Amino acid sequence: NAGVMQNPRHLVRRRGQEARLRCSPMKGHSHVYWYRQLPEEGLKFMVYLQKENIIDESGMPKERFSAEFPKEGPSILRIQQVVRGDSAAYFCASSPGYLSYEQYFGPGTRLTVT
Amino acid sequence: RKEVEQDPGPFNVPEGATVAFNCTYSNSASQSFFWYRQDCRKEPKLLMSVYSSGNEDGRFTAQLNRASQYISLLIRDSKLSDSATYLCVVNMDTGGFKTIFGAGTRLFVKA
């Protein structure tokens, strides 16, 4: 049973470009969560999605950031017009259900904005 | 006040020592609780869920006290491989779903 997969593992973008981060949940998991971790800081919740639905996006910046989890294919976190402050590790996690279920994390995507 | 607070670190202990981490949460709507460990620049890995009845997994024991809004993790007979950052995690339903990670407590186990 493959774990949570994320790609790319490392992404370098120049200021103003777009970044697309992909996450494939564990088999059988229909709940996906995205987190951001700045250097030397803790994880910050960004968004919680189920297939074709955004359940909670209270942690997402209001501009430039969006997330989707289509019926087919991986979940995508999209950052438009990246700035240096977007440089961070972005982790995706998945779970089989809501609230009481453990989340399992992917290896993360390290985004560097130059 | 932060929604989830952990002991400040780092903890430096010798091999074989027993070490305890504490975590408090402020929102009574919190519904489920977990401990994760995170190694440097890696993803968090689930260590164990935390229940009011307490649960044990080998050298690790976790406890939840809902009345005091307090979670603990006890590690017995520490190993060098236990060196990591330990994260307290709380899921809450406040009309919307939130997962809150504590800032983490760093543990160094030395030979």
What digits encode the pLDDT tens for the residues B21-46?
A: 999 999 888 888 999 999 988 999 99
Contact call for residues B110 and B13 (beta carbons, < 8 A):
yes
Identify the band that residue B8 occupies on the pLDDT scale cut at 50, 70 and 90.
confident
Contact call for residues A92 and A29 (beta carbons, < 8 A):
no
Please indicate whether residue A113 or residue B53 has the higher confidence score (pLDDT): A113
Residue B79 has pLDDT above 80, yes or no: yes
Residue B4 has a pLDDT of: 93
Residue A108 has pLDDT above 80, yes or no: yes
B contacts of A103 (beta carbons < 8 Å): 34, 46, 99
Determine whether the interchain pair B101/A106 forms a contact, defined as Cβ–Cβ distance below 8 Å.
Answer: no
Instruction: In chain B, count H helices and then E strands.
Output: 0, 11
Contact call for residues A79 and A86 (beta carbons, < 8 A):
yes
Rounded mean pLDDT, B7-19 = 94
| Region at B54 (left for phi over 0; alpha for psi -120 to 50; beta for the rest) | left
Residue A1 has pLDDT above 60, yes or no: no
Nearest to B82, CA basis, from B62, B57, B110: B110
Residues 6+ apart with CB under 8 A from B8: B105
Nearest chain A residue (CA) to B47: A102
Residue B55 has pLDDT above 70, yes or no: yes
Q: Which two tokens stand for residue B41?
A: 């620049």
Residue B88 has pLDDT above 90, yes or no: yes
Residue A40 has a pLDDT of: 78
The DSSP line for A12-45 is: EE-TT--EEEEEEPPTT--EEEEEEE-TTS-EEE
Rounded mean pLDDT, B1-15 = 90
Rounded mean pLDDT, A11-32 = 96
Cα separation, A111 vs A97, whole angstroms? 29
Residue A97 has a pLDDT of: 80
Half-sphere exposure of B62 (CA within 13 A, CB side): 21
Residue A99 has a pLDDT of: 66
| Region at A52 (left for phi over 0; alpha for psi -120 to 50; beta for the rest) | left
Percent of chain A's residues with pLDDT above 70:
97
Is A15 exposed, middle or buried (CB count within 10 Å of its CB: 0-12, 13-18, 19+)? exposed
Rounded mean pLDDT, B49-63 = 92
Residue B54 has pLDDT above 90, yes or no: no
Q: How far is B110 from chain A (nearest CA, A)?
A: 22
* Residue A58 CA: distances (Å) to CA of A48, A53, A66, B61, B95: 9, 14, 12, 33, 11
| 3-class DSSP assignment, residue B29 | coil
A contacts of B104 (beta carbons < 8 Å): 42
Determine whether the interchain pair A99/B100 forms a contact, defined as Cβ–Cβ distance below 8 Å.
Answer: no
Residue A39 has a pLDDT of: 82
Determine whether the interchain pair A35/B91 forms a contact, defined as Cβ–Cβ distance below 8 Å.
Answer: no
* Residue A88 CA: distances (Å) to CA of A11, A64, A76, B26: 10, 15, 16, 28
Rounded mean pLDDT, A27-39 = 92
A2-16, A68-82, A94-108: which range is least confident on average? A94-108
Residue B1 has pLDDT above 90, yes or no: no
Residue A52 has a pLDDT of: 87
Which of B44, B91, B97 shows the shortest C-beta gap to A105? Answer: B44
